[in-house]
Structure 1
Amino acid sequence: MKRVFKKITGQLHLWLGLGSGLVVFVVALTGALLVFEKELDETFRRDTYFVSYTSGQQRLPLDSIIHRAKAALPGGQLRRMEVETNAPGRTILCRVVQKGEFYQIALHPYTGQIVYTGAEDRQFFRVVLQLHRTLLAGEAGKAVTGACCLIFLSLVLTGLVLWWPKKWKGLKQRLQIKRGGNIKRFTWDLHAVGGFYIHVVIFIIAVTGLTWSYKWFNNGIFLLFDGKPPVANKAPADVRMLPNGEHYYEDIFAGANRRLAYPGTVSIQFPEKDSISVTVSKINAAASIPNVVDMLYFEKGSGRLLSTRLYKDQSRGMKVRRLIYPVHTGSIYGWPTKILALCSSLFAATLPVTGFLMWRNRRKKPGRKKATASGRRDPVKKQSKSPAIATSGRYTQEEA
């Protein structure tokens, strides 16, 4: 019975792997690139994110920066502005939508000079992200990556079943790559042994990835921890609508930092309609875990604080949901978990390759038996009972 179960599991693992291998390879490889997206992007586009400045130099009011950002793309609508509170050498980043396309604008905080303007969808890591999530094929691609993510989870589980040794004395073989083995043995060890060592990490990465593929999975997080679906996060209605004062947004920025007195990135969200208040969010860089965000809502006309949405007051489901992204990307505990996520993702990209090679090796037909000059069969063929590799090219039960 166990043998039949393992045979069925092997066939399931084989054909699901062959069917999803290419997508898994692309998603794993792009995921590895995205682990250090922020660090790599800031390294190769340093002029976009950093400027030279003199100590004590006064930053321009945000209202002046906003005016210059709007002038950079006439007819565009400003949607967001990001300001680093404890990094005086950083540019101020704005997001503007023009004719349905989003643009990133970077401005010098002390001179107001525009140092970069470019469409977001054409930036390298934006393309990598879309390839990772949708294969650059929109909703259809998203459906494919979501399905392959589910398949990958089953591959991890079935792979663990196939890896599991029949007897405990065979455990040592399953935990190390055989030295001096041939290429077929090495391929098997790399796939099975290496896959075992990272199966927990790649399983967690794949499970958390379902959050962006399926709404039911995202809602399930809140149902599990809160007992109810998530509540939509909406900014309160605005009454006065039109901003007053020359330094209106600068005053809102200063007020938000007084209430949220910790280092971090402040993001000002500009609503599409005047009847909606201004949302100011701040990422707490001093928190023990990433993605801790507090939100404040200000009346657009007066700058009066209308309401707050602080992290400490969030539901358990929302706090878990905010952990999904740092867990998925490996940034949960900084560089150690990022390196772990990077190595695991790179190795996950090799699994479809080694799996395909193993399948191809098994499909090769055995060579015809050759007779010696005396009419006897080649004595080499008598080695087919070896515990390593049979003449058919298949691995013995001890190996598989």
Structure 2
Amino acid sequence: MKIFFRNIHLYLSLVSGLVIAVVCLTGAVLVFEKDLEQAWHPERYFVAAPAQAADPLPLTRLMEAVRTYKADAKITGVKTYADPARTVEFSLAGAPGGPGGERKGEGARPAEAARRENTGPAGQSKEGRRGKGERGGKGGEKGGGGEGGRGPVVFVNPYTAAVTGELNYRETIFFTMMALHRGMVGGEIGKLIVGISTVMFLFIIGTGLVLWWPATRKALKQRLRVKWSSGWKRLNHDLHIVLGFYAALFLFVFAFTGLAWSFEWFNKGIYAVTNSPMQRPEPPVSVAPPTAQDAPAAPAALSADAALARARSLAPTAVSYALQLPKDSTGSIRVATLRPDATYENATDEVYLDQYSGQVLRQQTYEQRNLGQRVRGMFKPVHTGSIFGWPSKIISLVVCVLGFTFPITGTIMWLNRLRKQRRKERKLVAA
């Protein structure tokens, strides 16, 4: 029976090993994407705290600075933080079909949330806005992993209105890493190859555990420790077998959650198993006040400052406020707020405001999302290892690096086995 499992393990590994190695290596880089981006460009995200307590400038003043910086800028979203040392992030609409362009039917994504796959306009979770005909997760995006549909993000000092930087995601190394990670830079075909390789990887992990299972207690001790003082062949064997056992559970979880970005049927299955609807109701509509006959001008919409003040009154302890501005005269202002005790970064509460009166049209806390949305929303932080902060990120980094080495050490073991078998055959022929 072990020969059967060994053959499955071997042939699936030979077919998918290269893809698995690339996916694990790029995944190791993407684990600390946010941290590296902020470390490399701190001026974009942080400002020096003012010497004396100072109130930030109005958003309208900051928006003027953005329009001065980019004359043709169309601001689609704003994100502010309770932390006084953070900049204000303005998402701009990109040119459709061009670098940084927005996808049809979607505005540009605000900053921090924009770098997360599960986050849509103004920090809105994609899992929270699945609708009829909407594509799910990474699997629904087009191109090399679907990371091109983002407009630029402009960062502004809230106290001086100085533009501190601009982020065009397609121009970053992380865009290339993400394109490789999701689809090997091969568009829909590449995404399918990664998805099939991920399914194979799940079987590889399962058969690997069967092959690892020791027959005796003495063998168990050998398969739980790496014998560092042994020869290179034995050391390579231990690195594959022993470390493979310790990493198996984590790799299985990462691979399983990764299927949500490769196959739409997997996403549908999540909602089917949890008995939850994928489709969400359409955003509520703002009602314009009637205009007098002698004043035919269009009614004035709520300013960004008024919308932010309204959001702060509804959620005074929030860590961040992400505003998605209405696209037309009937649209509503969507605000996503993150509580200090949120389970993960995208576990936001949302509220829709009438763009004219500021009246709450619809409100939903994270706990009020249906079970399918909450389960699907957990996939991203679990997949990236950010669910428990730095400790889980470090574990994810180590496991991803090990995942990159296993196809290499496994191939060496296979080649050594082939050489050994050929030597035996030559001895038999000589005899």
Q: Is the 8 A contact 1:219 1:229 kept in 2?
A: no
Q: Which residue of 2 aligns with 1:109?
A: 158
Other structure's SS at 1:364 match: helix
C-alpha deviations, 1:89-147, integer Å up to 9, x for none?
Answer: 11111221232222121111112111212422112223322221122222222112111
Matching residue within 7, 13, 27 for 2:23: 27
Q: How much identity, in percent, do the aligned residues show?
A: 34
Query: 2:339 matched to 1:343?
Result: no
Q: Is the 8 A contact 1:220 1:229 kept in 2?
A: no
Q: Is the 8 A contact 1:243 1:300 kept in 2?
A: no
Q: Which residue of 1 aligns with 2:355?
A: 300
* Distance (Å, rounded) in 1 between the aligned partners of 2:76 and 2:2: 55
Equivalent AA in structure 2 for residue 25 of structure 1? A
Equivalent AA in structure 2 for residue 300 of structure 1? Q
Equivalent AA in structure 2 for residue 292 of structure 1? A
Q: Which residue of 2 aligns with 1:64?
A: 61
Q: Is the 8 A contact 1:208 1:327 kept in 2?
A: yes
Q: Which residue of 2 aligns with 1:155?
A: 204
Shift of 1:179: 4.3
* Distance (Å, rounded) in 2 between the aligned partners of 1:252 and 1:323: 29
TM-score w.r.t. length of structure 2: 0.79
Query: 2:48 matched to 1:52?
Result: yes
Matching residue within 216, 234, 237 for 2:285: 237
Shift of 1:234: 3.5
Equivalent AA in structure 2 for residue 297 of structure 1? Y
Q: Which residue of 2 aligns with 1:146?
A: 195
Other structure's SS at 1:298 match: strand
TM-score w.r.t. length of structure 1: 0.84
Equivalent AA in structure 1 for residue 183 of structure 2? T
C-alpha deviations, 1:179-210, integer Å up to 9, x for none?
Answer: 43221111111111100011111111111111
**Residues 75 and 140 from structure 1, CA distance in 2 versus in 1: closer, same or farther, beyond 3 angstroms?**
farther
Other structure's SS at 1:178 match: coil
Q: Is the 8 A contact 2:155 2:163 kept in 1?
A: yes
Q: Which residue of 2 aligns with 1:333?
A: 388
C-alpha deviations, 1:297-349, integer Å up to 9, x for none?
Answer: 01122322211121121222222222221111112122221211111111111
What does 1:277-296 correspond to in 2, within 5 Å? Answer: 277-296=332-351
Shift of 1:233: 5.6
* Distance (Å, rounded) in 2 between the aligned partners of 1:359 and 1:64: 65
**Residues 284 and 135 from structure 1, CA distance in 2 versus in 1: closer, same or farther, beyond 3 angstroms?**
farther
Matching residue within 212, 216, 221 for 1:167: 216
Q: Which residue of 1 aligns with 2:87?
A: 91
* Distance (Å, rounded) in 1 between the aligned partners of 2:413 and 2:156: 53
Q: Is the 8 A contact 1:27 1:133 kept in 2?
A: yes
Q: Is the 8 A contact 2:276 2:370 kept in 1?
A: no
The runs of 4+ residues in structure 1 deviating greater than 6 Å are 365-368
Query: 2:70 matched to 1:73?
Result: yes
Matching residue within 19, 35, 38 for 1:39: 35
Shift of 1:11: 1.3
Other structure's SS at 1:286 match: coil
* Distance (Å, rounded) in 2 between the aligned partners of 1:355 and 1:271: 54
Equivalent AA in structure 1 for residue 330 of structure 2? S
Q: Which residue of 2 aligns with 1:219?
A: 268
- Please tell me whether Structure 1 or Structure 2 has the larger radius of gyration of its CA atoms: 1
Q: Is the 8 A contact 2:31 2:393 kept in 1?
A: yes
Q: Which residue of 1 aligns with 2:114?
A: none
Shift of 1:15: 1.5
Q: Which residue of 2 aligns with 1:190?
A: 239
**Residues 118 and 156 from structure 1, CA distance in 2 versus in 1: closer, same or farther, beyond 3 angstroms?**
same
Other structure's SS at 1:267 match: strand
Q: Which residue of 2 aligns with 1:10?
A: 6
Q: Is the 8 A contact 1:235 1:278 kept in 2?
A: no
Shift of 1:367: 8.2
Q: Which residue of 2 aligns with 1:200?
A: 249
Q: Which residue of 2 aligns with 1:395?
A: none
Equivalent AA in structure 1 for residue 413 of structure 2? M
RMSD: 2.4
Shift of 1:47: 1.1
Query: 2:319 matched to 1:268?
Result: no
Other structure's SS at 2:192 match: helix
Q: Is the 8 A contact 2:5 2:207 kept in 1?
A: yes
* Distance (Å, rounded) in 2 between the aligned partners of 1:205 and 1:93: 31
Equivalent AA in structure 2 for residue 116 of structure 1? G
* Distance (Å, rounded) in 2 between the aligned partners of 1:347 and 1:208: 18
Q: Is the 8 A contact 2:342 2:348 kept in 1?
A: no
Equivalent AA in structure 2 for residue 140 of structure 1? I
* Distance (Å, rounded) in 2 between the aligned partners of 1:365 and 1:106: 61
* Distance (Å, rounded) in 2 between the aligned partners of 1:186 and 1:365: 17
Q: Is the 8 A contact 2:73 2:93 kept in 1?
A: yes
Other structure's SS at 1:105 match: strand
